[in-house]
Chains A and B, each alone.
Chain A
Amino acid sequence: MADTPHIKRSPDAGSSSGKLTPSYLDPDYQVMGEGLTYKSVTDKITDIVLKLKTSKGWWIGFGLSFTVLQVLVVSIVYLLIKGPGIWGVNNPVMWGFAIINFVWWIGIGHAGTLISAILLLVQQDWRTSINRFAEAMTVFAVMCAGLFPLLHVGRPWLAYWMLPYPSTMGVWPQFRSPLLWDVFAISTYLTVSVLFWYLGLIPDMATLRDRATHKVKKAVYGFLSLGWRGAAKHWDRFTTAYLILAGLSTPLVLSVHSIVSFDFAVSNLPGWHTTIFPPYFVAGAVYSGFAMVLTVLIPVRHIFGLHDVLTLRHLNSMSKVMLAMGLVVAYGYSMEAFYAFYSGAQYEIQAFQNRMYAGPYAWSYWALILCNVAIPQLLWFRRFRTTLVPLWMISIVINIGMWLERYVIVITLNRDFLTSSWDFYSPTIWDWSLYLGTFGLFFTCTFLFIRFLPMINVFEMRELIHHVSHHHHVEGGHGADSHEKSVAQS
């Protein structure tokens, strides 16, 4: 389907009444602007890295992010000196911001994996200009996420104790604990994401190497491109490796956040112990991931003038994925409520009543419903999917909503079985500064990535131009015809 972009139903059933419209006449359905050629698209993307003067916007953004990164450094150093007692965690709320932020950041990463792996396998051509960016975001988000459990263990320098190795302690980690599954899930996720991202970068590194004029740049990009010459044999192996990694990543989209949800669902706690958790956590992850991609890409598209490679088609499609995931998440919330009462278990019911109206944190539940369920319904309207400012604002609202979702889940701890042990939880300044600091890390990495690596996949864009301009059907999204690519390479 992706390879026959010339005839499609218009995405806007309202205006065209579902009639078949040639998609190249519909500006919103184009995966790229008019008149792009192999050369112009390559110039457009690589010039940002090699030729253009570093823009003022970049300096401001990077400077700001780097400043916020220092907040992270200070927060971590102070934490290591004083210990996790500086946080608001207490008994019974032993999991505070650390786990909320961990789950939130991990979720952000899921858009990258979904876009690169699943959309690649189902051959969606609109993934091409956003996959590199989303994959980079995955890597950075997982880095931010990993910090929280690492710091929450209290003595991060002993974190390697969580790995199964023949230690002098004579014990193995607790293999029945979801917290250990997390260790495996997250480290696998980070490894595969980095490999996938880097593998996709190799042909583009070679392009940069060939176009660079400065000796150092040539050497660095040359080193990173691992001797890529664009030979047919290279493309053949590359395509195979890329597909294998896509295949490996695909189950990760589902497994990583399922396992993260087990941290809660496997425990015997009212409000946590539900079977709906894994699927609705996965949907929530993709939801927040797409929201974050939009939050970052919309300004970047504007700053770097990428309107003809990042078209309204992309924004429209991403909004639709977001809407679909939002509905799954909304279904999750309603099932949570339903099962709490359907179970007839008094503790389950009470946990939910506390969550909705009886507890001190009921405001957060309704804020969550507002952000994650109510406001995103605007995405049913095409106007909101394709107008930048409202879409950008909705994406931020969803980010906040997904954070609130984890807040609501974790805060359930404040009222456990014994009334005498009920307590309040409020984050301290250090909880906030650490959370804020991870934004510094995330955006510092993002800005460096934008400046030093091609943020849009050059060789896939050239391939897409080939497909769009020839209007012919080629089996396989990737490198079905390696000869074409090596022509495009030269």
Chain B
Amino acid sequence: MPQIFPRSANAIARASIIGALLLIGGGLLFLDSLNRSNYQTKQHLTIEQPVQFSHARHLAGNGLDCRYCHTSVEESHFAGIPPVETCMTCHSQVLKEAPMLEPVRASYETGAPLEWVRVHDLGDFVYFNHSIHVNKGVGCATCHGQVDKMPLTWQENTLQMQWCLDCHRAPQKYVRPKEHVFDLNWEPEGDQLAMGDSLVKAYGINVGQLTNCSICHR
């Protein structure tokens, strides 16, 4: 009886074992890298906004405090997006005719709010509260990065769950004295961990409870 397969079939069969393993392993590795890449996280990407607002200009340039615009950050889950009236406190005087600010003036006249595109978009299954973080010594820059160096706003961190848990499991690595929460350029003096430990105690942060599922998923 003649052979059905040529001799080379043996080599192909052997190679296919290694090939399949490489293909599966490589495929999984690719998917995992894709999941961690900014293609998935949207990290460090600037977004087209109705007005090209620059945090760098307003914070580093003009010396505004975060809370000048994000007024409810200390009391509410929501930091607050300022109404155009806040913009107009200055821009009724400064850069009155600038074409870049045309949408702001239009909004002020018609009353139709500006439709900003959310940069830090958490999943709907996550309950996040700004006030508790700010009041327990988590600085703005810890999550948002140095926005005073961002001409256009981008998402500094992955916002993936393991990133949240990194701090929720060991907040002493990140907490700072409350008075420096809004200081975007603050650096710890000396040992962060030693200071962090004492701050965690002083602010009554219950670390064990921070990793309960229902802390974030309600």
A170-B4 in contact (CB<8A): no
Measured CA separation A170–B5 after assembly (Å)? 49
Measured CA separation A227–B164 after assembly (Å)? 54
Distance (Å) between the CB of A274 and the closest chain B CB?
Answer: 29
Report chain B residues within 8 Å CB of A227: 5, 9-10, 13
Report chain B residues within 8 Å CB of A168: 35-36, 158, 160-162
Q: A168-B35, A227-B10, A227-B13 are in contact. Are A210 and B1 (CB under 8 A)?
A: yes
Q: Please, what's the 1-or-0 string for B14-40, where 1 marks a CB less than 8 Å from any CB in chain A? A: 000000000000000000100110000
Measured CA separation A218–B4 after assembly (Å)? 7
B165 within 8 A of A: yes
Report chain B residues within 8 Å CB of A231: none
B166 within 8 A of A: yes
| B interface residue count range (under 10 / 10 to 19 / 20 to 34 / 35 or more) | 10 to 19
Measured CA separation A168–B37 after assembly (Å)? 11
Report chain A residues within 8 Å CB of B32: 166
B161 in complex: contacting residue of A169, A218, A222, A223, CB < 8 Å: A169
Q: Please, what's the 1-or-0 string for A195-224, where 1 marks a CB less than 8 Å from any CB in chain B? A: 000000000000001100000001100110
A171 in complex: contacting residue of B35, B158, B165, CB < 8 Å: B165
B13-A226 in contact (CB<8A): yes
A219-B160 in contact (CB<8A): no
Distance (Å) between the CB of A244 and the closest chain B CB?
Answer: 19
A15 within 8 A of B: no
Distance (Å) between the CB of B159 and the closest chain A CB?
Answer: 10
A167 within 8 A of B: yes
B162 in complex: contacting residue of A167, A209, A210, A218, CB < 8 Å: A167
Measured CA separation A169–B216 after assembly (Å)? 13
| Residues of B contacting A: mostly | helix
Residues of B138-172 at the interface with A, using a CB-CB cut-off of 8 Å, are: 158, 160-166
Measured CA separation A191–B42 after assembly (Å)? 38
B158-A209 in contact (CB<8A): no
Report chain B residues within 8 Å CB of A219: 4-5
Measured CA separation A226–B5 after assembly (Å)? 11
Report chain A residues within 8 Å CB of B162: 167-171
Distance (Å) between the CB of B8 and the closest chain A CB?
Answer: 12
Measured CA separation A168–B157 after assembly (Å)? 13
Residues of B55-101 at the interface with A, using a CB-CB cut-off of 8 Å, are: none
Report chain A residues within 8 Å CB of B160: 168-170
Distance (Å) between the CB of B214 and the closest chain A CB?
Answer: 14
Residues of A155-172 at the interface with B, using a CB-CB cut-off of 8 Å, are: 166-171
Which residue of B has the minimal Cβ distance to A223?
Answer: B5
A170-B161 in contact (CB<8A): yes
Report chain A residues within 8 Å CB of B166: 170
B165-A222 in contact (CB<8A): no
B4 in complex: contacting residue of A171, A209, A226, CB < 8 Å: A209
Report chain A residues within 8 Å CB of B165: 169-171
- A168, A171, A219 pick with most chain B CB within 10 angstroms: A168
Report chain A residues within 8 Å CB of B36: 168
Distance (Å) between the CB of B34 and the closest chain A CB?
Answer: 11
Q: What would be 16 A-B contacts, judged by CB atoms less than 8 Å apart?
A: A167-B162, A168-B158, A168-B161, A168-B162, A169-B162, A169-B165, A170-B161, A170-B162, A170-B163, A170-B164, A170-B166, A171-B161, A219-B4, A219-B5, A227-B10, A227-B13
18 extra A-B contacts, CB within 8 A, seeds A169-B162, A170-B161: A166-B32, A167-B162, A168-B160, A168-B161, A169-B161, A170-B162, A170-B165, A170-B166, A171-B161, A171-B162, A171-B165, A210-B1, A218-B4, A222-B4, A223-B5, A227-B5, A227-B9, A227-B10
